[in-house]
Amino acid sequence: MTDQAQILPGTLDLLILRAVSLGPLHGYGVLLRIAQISGNALLIEQGALYPALFRLVRQGLLKASWGTSENNRRAKFYELTAAGRKRLREETDGWKRLAAAMASALALQSEE
Amino acid sequence: MRLLASMRNVLWTLTHRSRVNDELDEELRAHIALRADDLVRSGIPRPEAERQARVEFGGFDRYMEASHEAAGSLWGESILHDLRFGLRMLWKSPVLTAAAIATLAIGIGANTAMFSLVDGLWLRPLAIADPAHVVAISSVKNHAASDSEEGDIDSSYAEYRDVRERTSAFADVAASSKRGIALETSEGLQMLLATVVSDNYFTFMGARPEVGRVPIESDWHDPQAPVIVLSHSTWMRVFAGDARVVGQTFNVKGGRATIAAVLPPQFRGTERLIESGVYVPQSTWVAWHPDERNLPRTDREYELYARLKPGATLDQARPQLERLSRDLSTDYPQANQDRTLSVAWQSRSSSSQLKVVGTLLLVLAGAVLMMACANIASLLLARNDSRTREMAIRYSLGATRRRLFQQMLTECAILGAAGIAVAVLLASWLIASVPALLPNIGFPLSFDFRIDHRVLLFTMIAGVLSVLICGVPLGIIITRTAPLEAARTHASPARLKMPARKIFVVLQAAATIALLMATGLLLRTLIAVQKADIGFNRSQNAVLMQINVDWEGPRRIAEFDALAARMRALPGVKDACVARVAPFALSGGGATRFVLAPGEQPGPAAGTPVWFNWVDDAYFHVLGVPLVRGRAFEHRDSTAAAPVAIVNQALARRLFATDDAVGKHLRVGRDQPQEFEIIGVAQDGKYAGITEAPQPYLYLPFTQDSWAEVTLIVTATKDARPLLPAVRKAVRDVSPNIMILYAQTMTDRIGFATYPSRMAAWLTAVLALLALLLAMIGLYGVGSYSVSRRVREIGIRMALGAPRNAAFKTVLNDGLKLTLSGILLGTGLALLLGRGMSSLLYGVTPFDPITLSGVVFLVLATSTAALLGPARRALRIDPANTLRED
């Protein structure tokens, strides 16, 4: 697991929003989707997901409802609200700019 | 609405906490199960898969708790948590907690008691139907110049009928008048304070009887037997609450009366201070006294009340009454010229003196509460020094400032709740002791002071305000502390807090100065009132007995002489006399006569009303009223001789601009004035109240005219009280037909006259002493605190060779600087307060420099005393020890 990166503080919320933006998911599904879209590159302790999910629900970015999973287990499903979709757009743009800036800055430094 | 919503939220969270937890639990377990399913699918046996899933999930309970918190909506829970935590913290320092609760209870309790007094005297709506629309109608003299004129606002019964019939703004109008009646029961004669009321009175007041049926106006359309209605207290006192007396008939002076009903205990009509013993419908009264059926309109004995019609306003009523006033003054110039019917809300018609006292007491009690709050905030601040690290650590662990603030406020609220509970106990005890403080005036006064929902509501508001006042600044100060700095060292946070505590102490000293000043002025007023020259020998012991005789004409004069002579023969009696009234009667100055100025033409509106008295020839000598000129009445001033009079200095000066009035003539009466020769000038005295300005007064001799209702004045060689039964018996022996209206001692009479001054002085004194105590505790606290903070500094200074008493001086100086700032501020406040209460003062100016310097000295002396303790502790600091410590 050494090739996995610890996620930066504050990025988990963005990852969750991104994961859920592709369709309603239960908590475990969110985890799998993050692993899938990040190419298994990010390490998240599974339980840490839930405080983040509840926080996002409280902020009105996600909404939750009980349903049944693909293998017939009762589970709570999360989906984006309009506010969540908007936040995702903003944060994605912001993150892209930051990442580009970081990348170019680090690239400059390594050439020195 | 938002408050409601958040309350619902709290309630929901509290009642559904387990359900929230169950859902959370289910969701997290579902996650583990789903993960285990996946692992099983990848070939791991189920038990092993489940174990691995749990491990991968991490700390189940921790995430559950974190999720719970993240879900928010936990406001209610955090309150519960804060409550538990707060109780624990307070429990850990019981002395401090008890001190804070006691301080708060004194502050709130004083306010509760004062509010209960003011509510009973003035604010509480009357226990009658629809009190909010009841107005008082008075017949005001247009150019009132003396107390006797200003108090002359009652109406005649004929005028009552006119107001009722000739105005349209009122739904109904009622009238009442205070009299005395004697009711003959199996126990003997019972003197009762009676209210003669218009026949519609009980309907007007919406009185619902406790027993029987109250008479209504239409009952009188057919002639019927006279009926009376008893008050609850008379029913209990005279008839021991026996319901069978309703329907029974009793003898009264003038006739017979059937008891129709008993009124409930809270019924007082429009009165607040006096509970009438019996209510007599006007028709009953007239049946007893047929000669009063057509009393002249100048006989003004009735108070009028009216209820506005729904939708009608005072402004609509006023022009109607003004029009009626004009009509009446045209129709009956003798009775109504220069009079205007004025109208005001009955709820506002309490005496203005009462209102000033009430407002003053509430303001002072409020100041005491503020000081109590300041002390509590100060106490909690001191305690929180030890908790700064705790706060800082909680803060860095992620507690928000709001949460810490909420915690502080919760602790204050716990103190507040306990304070309110103790305060209510304290106040009910105070209220219960009020009857013992009431003056003895010959019949029971019945103030209705109680702790009811209004008073409790006031207490709650006072409590919540005090919690906010001490909690909010405290919370701000404490949560403002820089967390990192506070966590690192335990010396720095104090820097932030000293100014707050110093401001508290300065404000307390200022409030104390103001309160002590108010007390000082009222005490000086009281002394002035007790030393005031009231125009007669106040120090002698005497019995005052108001009696009603049935002797007529010339015989009456002889009988009065015989009565006085009989009293003089009683053992222990020094002297005796008879007069129409004695000073400070309940009726105030009493009846008036119109005195014409020299050269004034007689006429329906001529003359000024002057209080007057009929006295016998011994009056001036017995009561000790000095005659500055001329002589007292003598037997030779008979009906056969020329009419004579004695005036007081104020009347002499008003008429003749000089005291030297002996031999001059004076005319009494408006249309056909009678001429009197002035044979003497009496020194000015006090007649209705001690604080009154000099009022004109006229004495006429009994030997030339007299009156059936008189006061027998019997002076005693020793204490007068034991003489009361003997005097009573002697009067009975003279004639069983003499009615004793009431009897009291001169001491009680003077006590009644000085009662308002005494009450105001003592109540403010209690409040001011509480304030002084609180201010001193505050100052002591600040002194001790600054010493404890500076132990090291002082130790080092001493080690470096500073003289020992330098530390002592510093503590004292720092403390007294605060007191001095407070004194400056407080002097300003005291001047303002003095101006507001100037109407209560007598014999002292509101800015009396002697009182002010006395107060300043007292505060300086007690401040120094409060600082001595901490300063001595500074002196005892051992440099070696302090340097070793820490």
Q: Using a CB-CB distance cutoff of 8 angstroms, which residues of chain A are in contact with residue B70? A: 50-52, 54-55, 58
Whole-model pTM: value is 0.70
| Residue contact B30–A46, C-beta within 8 A | no
**Which of B30, B66, B70 faces A73 most closely, judged by CB atoms?**
B30
Helices in B332-387 by DSSP H: which ranges? Answer: 333-336, 352-385
Widest CA span in chain B? 141
pLDDT at B854: 93
CA B766 to chain CA mean position, Å: 14
| Residue contact B27–A55, C-beta within 8 A | no
List, for chain B, all residue ranges whose pLDDT scores fall below the cut of 50: 1, 73-74, 490-496, 886
Q: Using a CB-CB distance cutoff of 8 angstroms, which residues of chain B are in contact with residue A57? A: 71
Does A68 lie at the interface with B, CB-CB under 8 angstroms?
no
Does A63 lie at the interface with B, CB-CB under 8 angstroms?
no
CATH number of A33's domain = 1.10.10.10
Q: For residue B70, what is the nearest residue in chain A, using CA coordinates? A: A55
- The strand pair at B627-630 and B592-596 is best described as unpaired
Count the Cβ atoms, other than its own, within 10 Å of residue B258: 18
DSSP 8-state assignment for residue B492: T
Q: Using a CB-CB distance cutoff of 8 angstroms, which residues of chain B are in contact with residue A33? A: none
| Residue contact B37–A71, C-beta within 8 A | yes
Does A28 lie at the interface with B, CB-CB under 8 angstroms?
yes
Q: Which of A28, A49, A57 to mutate to test the interface with B (most CBs of B within 10 A)?
A: A28
How far away is chain A from the Cα of B398, in angstroms, using its nearest Cα? Answer: 15
Q: How is chain B split into domains, by residue range?
A: 2-73, 157-295+298-331, 353-531+753-884, 550-737
Q: For residue A27, what is the nearest residue in chain B, using CA coordinates? A: B31
**Which of A28, A55, A75 faces B70 most closely, judged by CB atoms?**
A55
Count the Cβ atoms, other than its own, within 10 Å of residue B678: 22
Does A35 lie at the interface with B, CB-CB under 8 angstroms?
no
Amino acid at B861: A
Q: For residue A30, what is the nearest residue in chain B, using CA coordinates? A: B31
**What CA–CA distances, in Å, run from B757 to B116, B194, B354, B519?**
20, 28, 11, 11
Q: 3-state class of B139 per DSSP?
A: strand
Tens-level pLDDT at each residue, chain A (112 residues): 344 555 666 678 888 888 888 888 888 888 888 888 887 777 677 888 888 888 888 778 888 888 888 878 888 899 898 988 998 898 888 888 888 888 888 886 554 4
How far away is chain B from the Cα of A45, in angstroms, using its nearest Cα? Answer: 6
Q: Using a CB-CB distance cutoff of 8 angstroms, which residues of chain B are in contact with residue A71? A: 34, 37
Do B338 and B141 contact (CB within 8 A), yes or no? yes
Structure tokens at B341: 């019917």
| Residue contact B58–A48, C-beta within 8 A | yes
Q: Using a CB-CB distance cutoff of 8 angstroms, which residues of chain A are in contact with residue B13? A: none
pLDDT at B216: 92
**What CA–CA distances, in Å, run from B870 to B384, B788, B800, B808?**
20, 9, 22, 8
Per the listing, tokens 């991104």 go with: A18
Widest CA span in chain A? 57
Does A112 lie at the interface with B, CB-CB under 8 angstroms?
no
pLDDT at A1: 38
φ/ψ (deg, to 5) at B667: -110, 130
Which residues, other chains included, contact B155 with Cβ-Cβ below 8 Å and sequence gap of 6+? B137, B138, B139, B163, B175, B300, B302, B303, B304, B341
| Residue contact B30–A28, C-beta within 8 A | yes
Which residues, other chains included, contact B88 with Cβ-Cβ below 8 Å and sequence gap of 6+? none
**What CA–CA distances, in Å, run from B515 to B362, B522, B605, B649?**
12, 11, 48, 39
Q: Using a CB-CB distance cutoff of 8 angstroms, which residues of chain B are in contact with residue A75? A: 27, 30-31, 34
Which residues, other chains included, contact B676 with Cβ-Cβ below 8 Å and sequence gap of 6+? B643, B644, B645, B665, B666, B667, B668, B700
Q: Using a CB-CB distance cutoff of 8 angstroms, which residues of chain B are in contact with residue A69? A: 30, 34
Provide the residue range defining the domain that includes A34: 5-111
Q: For residue B62, what is the nearest residue in chain A, using CA coordinates? A: A47
Q: What total of structural domains would you count in chain A?
A: 1
Structure tokens at B113: 């008691």
End-to-end CA separation in angstroms for chain B = 54
d(CA B371, CA B421): 19
Per the listing, tokens 């044979």 go with: B679
Per the listing, tokens 């507040």 go with: B416
How far away is chain B from the Cα of A62, in angstroms, using its nearest Cα? Answer: 12
Q: 3-state class of B175 per DSSP?
A: strand
Per the listing, tokens 């390490």 go with: A43
Q: Which chain B residues have any C-beta within 8 angstroms of a chain A C-beta?
A: 23-24, 26-28, 30-31, 33-35, 37, 56-60, 62-64, 66-73
Does A76 lie at the interface with B, CB-CB under 8 angstroms?
yes
**What CA–CA distances, in Å, run from B251 to B184, B192, B732?**
5, 13, 18
**Which of B24, B66, B70 faces A58 most closely, judged by CB atoms?**
B70
**Which of A45, A53, A69 faces B58 most closely, judged by CB atoms?**
A45
How far away is chain B from the Cα of A53, in angstroms, using its nearest Cα? Answer: 8
Per the listing, tokens 């002010």 go with: B852
How far away is chain B from the Cα of A33, in angstroms, using its nearest Cα? Answer: 13
Do B703 and B579 contact (CB within 8 A), yes or no? no
| Residue contact B28–A76, C-beta within 8 A | no
pLDDT at B490: 47
Does A55 lie at the interface with B, CB-CB under 8 angstroms?
yes
How far away is chain B from the Cα of A29, in angstroms, using its nearest Cα? Answer: 9
Per the listing, tokens 């107005």 go with: B135
Closest by Cα among A49, A51, A15 to A34: A15
Closest by Cα among B579, B548, B567 to B739: B548
Q: Using a CB-CB distance cutoff of 8 angstroms, which residues of chain B are in contact with residue A74? A: 26, 30
d(CA B569, CA B672): 43
Q: 3-state class of B611 per DSSP?
A: strand
- The strand pair at B542-548 and B739-745 is best described as antiparallel
pLDDT tens, residue by residue, B44-81? 898 999 898 888 888 787 777 777 777 764 455 667 77
| Residue contact A73–B62, C-beta within 8 A | no
User: B588-621 as b/e, with b when 16 or more CB fall inside 10 Å?
Assistant: ebbebbbbbeeeeeeeeebbbbbbbbbbbbbbbe
Do B611 and B590 contact (CB within 8 A), yes or no? yes
Does A74 lie at the interface with B, CB-CB under 8 angstroms?
yes
pLDDT tens, residue by residue, B341-396? 988 887 665 566 778 888 888 888 998 898 888 888 877 777 766 666 667 666 66
How far away is chain A from the Cα of B42, in angstroms, using its nearest Cα? Answer: 15
Does A65 lie at the interface with B, CB-CB under 8 angstroms?
no
Q: For residue B38, what is the nearest residue in chain A, using CA coordinates? A: A71
Q: Which of B67, B73, B75 to mutate to test the interface with A (most CBs of A within 10 A)?
A: B67
**Which of B33, B60, B70 faces A47 most closely, judged by CB atoms?**
B60
- The strand pair at B303-308 and B134-141 is best described as antiparallel
φ/ψ (deg, to 5) at B172: -160, 165
pLDDT at B491: 46
Do B697 and B651 contact (CB within 8 A), yes or no? yes
